[in-house]
Amino acid sequence: MELNQHCANCKFRSHLFDKLSVEELTFINRNKKTVAIKKGGLINKSGDPIREFVYLTQGLVKMQKIGKNGKEQIVSLARPLDFIGLLSVFNKEFYEYSVTALVDSVVCRIDINSLKEMVKRNGEFSMDIIRFISNISNEIISDTYAINSKNLRGRIAMLLVDFSKKYFESLAFDLPISRKEMAEMIDMTPENVIRILSEFRRDGIINLRGKHLEITNMNMLSKIRDLG
């Protein structure tokens, strides 16, 4: 695929940029670079200075931080058209979260000052930025509360339903993360992730072989999510 496409023609462009004119997109285009990242590759490192606004066009990435106990904690996953670190770029000097590619991915790195310039100049664009930030943070906050108010079975059920509906739009898919990473996403131990997955398999709710998962009883799974 063509990496260094002009923003004005980019088919991965988010609606966030709809309010920019062709001239403004050209300005952005001059100040961005597009980079391919291999699976497992580091995109941003927690603590590094923020110089760019990162935008995911292809792949899947995780945002994580290190808790006080030294354990990794996954704050959220990002899909194509998601903005990485949008919650930090405008008010922090250094990245708060590390970002790692879960599969081969492609990101655009837009010079942060060029973007800020756009925000100041184009009022409709700044309103859109505000709406995007609000949406992202609302989602993280409500997801976090939802996870923490559920028991372990409910958490796993929620995660699987989300994968199926939000990320893969299919009842069968390959898990993009390890059991350990699942545990880091929903705040439990890897042992219990495995235990509950085995339980679901025993109960005929899912098929699971290695990373390949198929939801065979979505009704039941949704019920477990809602009641947990």
Partner DNA sequence: CGCGGCTTTGATGTTCATCAAGTAAAGTGG
Partner DNA sequence: CCACTTTACTTGATGAACATCAAAGCCGCG
Residues that bind DNA (CB under 7 A): 151-153, 178-180, 187-192, 194-195, 197-198, 208, 210-211
- Say which entry of DNA, a copy of itself, none residue 6 contacts (CB below 5 to 8 A, set by partner kind): none
Contact yes or no for 105/61 (Cβ under 8 A): yes
Nearest alpha-carbon partner for 36 in 4, 82, 73: 4
Q: Give dist(CA 139, CA 159) in Å, integer.
A: 14
Candidate ranges 32-40, 113-121, 155-163, 190-198; the one touching a copy of itself (CB under 8 A): 113-121
Closer CB to DNA, 75 or 197, in the complex: 197
- Say which entry of DNA, a copy of itself, none residue 191 contacts (CB below 5 to 8 A, set by partner kind): DNA
Contact yes or no for 143/225 (Cβ under 8 A): no
Supply φ then ψ for residue 104, to 5 degrees: -55, 130
162 near a copy of itself, judged by CB under 8 A: no
**# residues contacting a copy of itself (CB under 8 A):** 38
- Say which entry of a copy of itself, DNA, none residue 211 contacts (CB below 5 to 8 A, set by partner kind): DNA
Angle at 82 (CA atoms; ends 81, 83), nearest 5 degrees: 120
Q: Which of 11, 15, 68, 209 binds a copy of itself (CB under 8 A)?
A: 68
- Say which entry of a copy of itself, DNA, none residue 148 contacts (CB below 5 to 8 A, set by partner kind): a copy of itself
- Say which entry of a copy of itself, DNA, none residue 67 contacts (CB below 5 to 8 A, set by partner kind): a copy of itself
What b-and-e string marks burial along 105-128, b requiring 16 or more CB atoms within 10 Å of the CB? bbbbbbbbebbeebeeebeebeeb
219 near a copy of itself, judged by CB under 8 A: no
Closer CB to DNA, 151 or 170, in the complex: 151
- Say which entry of a copy of itself, DNA, none residue 88 contacts (CB below 5 to 8 A, set by partner kind): a copy of itself
15 near a copy of itself, judged by CB under 8 A: no
Contact yes or no for 72/97 (Cβ under 8 A): no
Closest contact distance (angstroms) between CB of 147 and a copy of itself is 9
* Residues in CB range of 70: below 8 A, 6 or more apart: none
The residue behind tokens 């405008």 is 90
